[in-house]
Amino acid sequence: MINLNFYQNGGIPVIFSSDQNKSELIDWAKNNTTFKAEQAEVYYLPNPESGGLILVGLNSEQDLTFDQLRYLGFKIYKTATANKIGEIEIIMPPIAEKCNIKVMKSIVEGMIQATYKFDKYLSKKDENPVKKFTVNYTPNHGSVETMQATFNKLKDVMDGVFLARDLVNQTSNYIYPETLAQAAIDSLQPLGVELAVYNYKQIKEIGMEAFLAVAQGSNKEPRLIVMKYQGNPDSDQFTGLVGKGITYDSGGYSIKPSDGMEDMHCDMSGAATVIGTLYALAKTEAKTNVYGIIAACENLISGTSFKVGDVINSLSGKTIEIGNTDAEGRVTLADAVYYATDNLKVNQVIDLATLTGACLVALGEEYTGVITNNNDYYQEFEAAAKKVGEKVWLLPNDKKFTELNKSKVADIKNVGGRLAGTITAGQFIGEFVANNIPWIHLDIAGTAYLSKENDFLPERATGVHVKTLTEFLAR
């Protein structure tokens, strides 16, 4: 927990290397300690009488990014708490024409990021020696009211991010379609979000044959989770947020090797981001209308599983040849996206999915891969992503690639071959967007779940794009 006071003093002072008034002290430290004042270097200088100082390398030049400030906040928190410091004082020097609110928001976000941990399964929890962390923050200038309002909103959005992370980090014996639906109800209903959860029989009645083809191999029943947040009752415009909700992906008969299966409880990260985003929007009372749609199921092997070579039907009426049962996400999303755009008639739609290993190969764990049918819509989205520091990269939605998904026996095939795997997967989903509305597809296979810590982002679940979507939809 972080307790933030503006224009108050007290606690261990945090000294920035760019602070002209403190240059003598910084020079002394450079000559007498290991501190070299490099960007984001954080060093605790103890003093038995005063309690000491925290020294921070800060590049006040033009090229300093807000992500670097987030990482700085992260390190200040980690360094302080590791030294059992529970109260710090920050008096912010000016940073090259940067907005004071954004500077504060970035540093404090980094500190909040540093508080995240997932220890549900550990019988011995790692106790943080600091229970309450107080930051007395004096910005270079800016009113207490705006600073406070920014901080309150930041906390709510980060709660949405942490909610998404907690859902993804829980393994598939805890989070399966029924419990995922219950988690959505538990976290969103108290905030006024309306939820409808459909069981197998109801999904069948709706006609989501493609979704059910994937679900039919598991004896855990699927769930269709539909969430409605209406923060702007004056408008009848809705955005659809569709999240891939495979609570476990074994690959099915196109079985994954066991080391590729280990983390496949993360295959509902898109769904978790949708839930986390709705949480943040509702908590901040954002003036926007959103439907969240999740087709949740497991992709397993059994006597009832769908098989390689099967031809299945879908909600849209298009038939699908199953060339690979491990390309299951796009099959469930075909129905979920069609449900959003045809049944619910949303005005624009964004889907998020841990869809392809190919995306990891192309963009690593750093960038989300994007496909869109509307560049103007995407430009706005990209601006929001940039603002909050979540990296996205647009891939070409060239009709030449679409030919790769052609089938000889059905209307479309769920795999397009070895080439351009992330693009053909995205384009497959695009075929199920009804009414040609603006659509953005986000392949978060690399960014939703990290093999190792990346600056202020933790190992495993990241809750990626809760920040972007909240920013984008509340614009």
Give me the residues that bind ligand BES (CB under 6 A), please. 249, 267, 324, 326-329, 354-358, 360, 415, 421, 445
Catalytic residue among 22, 105, 283, 330: 330
Name the minimum Å distance from CB 268 to Zn ion.
9
Rounded CA separation 404/421 (Å): 10
H helix runs in 196-296, sequence order = 200-206, 209-215, 258-261, 269-283
Cα gap 373→354, rounded to integer Å: 20
Beta carbon nearer to ligand BES, 328 or 351: 328
Residues that bind Zn ion (CB under 5 A): 246, 249, 267, 326, 328-329
Phi-psi region of 389 (alpha: psi -120 to 50; beta: other; left: phi over 0): left
Catalytic residue among 102, 117, 204, 256: 256
Supply the minimum distance, in Å, between the C-beta of residue 234 and ligand BES. 40
Report what 415 binds from Zn ion, ligand BES, none; CB cut-off 5-8 Å by kind. ligand BES
Q: At 19, which amino acid appears?
A: D
Q: In 231-380, where do the E strands start and end?
A: 239-249, 289-299, 311-312, 320-321, 348-353, 368-372
Closest to ligand BES by CB, 53 vs 168, is: 168
Closest to 204 measured CA to CA, from 186, 189, 222: 222
Shortest distance in whole angstroms from residue 252 CB to ligand BES: 9
Whether the Cβ atoms of residue 404 and residue 420 lie closer than 8 Å to each other: yes
We find the least distance from the C-beta atom of residue 459 to Zn ion, in angstroms, to be 20
- Measured from the CB atom, the residue of 333 and 434 that comes closer to ligand BES is 333
What is d(CA 229, CA 219) in angstroms, rounded to the nearest whole number?
31
Is position 330 annotated as part of the catalytic site?
yes
Rounded distance, CA 275 to CA 270, Å? 9
Backbone angles phi, psi at 254, to 5 degrees: -85, 60
CB of 246 to Zn ion, least distance (A): 5
386 a catalytic residue: no
In the complex with ligand BES, which residue's Cβ is closer, 158 or 464?
464
Who's near 63: CB < 8 A, 6+ residues apart?
none
Q: Which does 372 bind (CB under 5 to 8 A by kind): ligand BES, Zn ion, none?
A: none
CA 51 to chain centre: 38
Binding at 357: pick from ligand BES, Zn ion, none (beta carbon under 5-8 Å per type):
ligand BES
Do the beta carbons of residue 417 and residue 445 sit within 8 Å? no
Residue type, 242: V
The residue among 81 and 324 lying less far from ligand BES, judged by its C-beta, is 324
Smallest separation (angstroms) from ligand BES to the CB of 405: 11
Residue nearest to ligand BES (CB): 357
| Ramachandran bin of 213, using left for φ above 0, alpha for ψ from -120 to 50, beta for the remaining angles | alpha
State the binding partner of 445 from ligand BES, Zn ion, none, CB within 5 to 8 A by kind.
ligand BES
The DSSP output letter for 464 is T
When the beta carbons of 154 and 445 are compared against Zn ion, the nearer one is 445
Catalytic residues: 256, 330
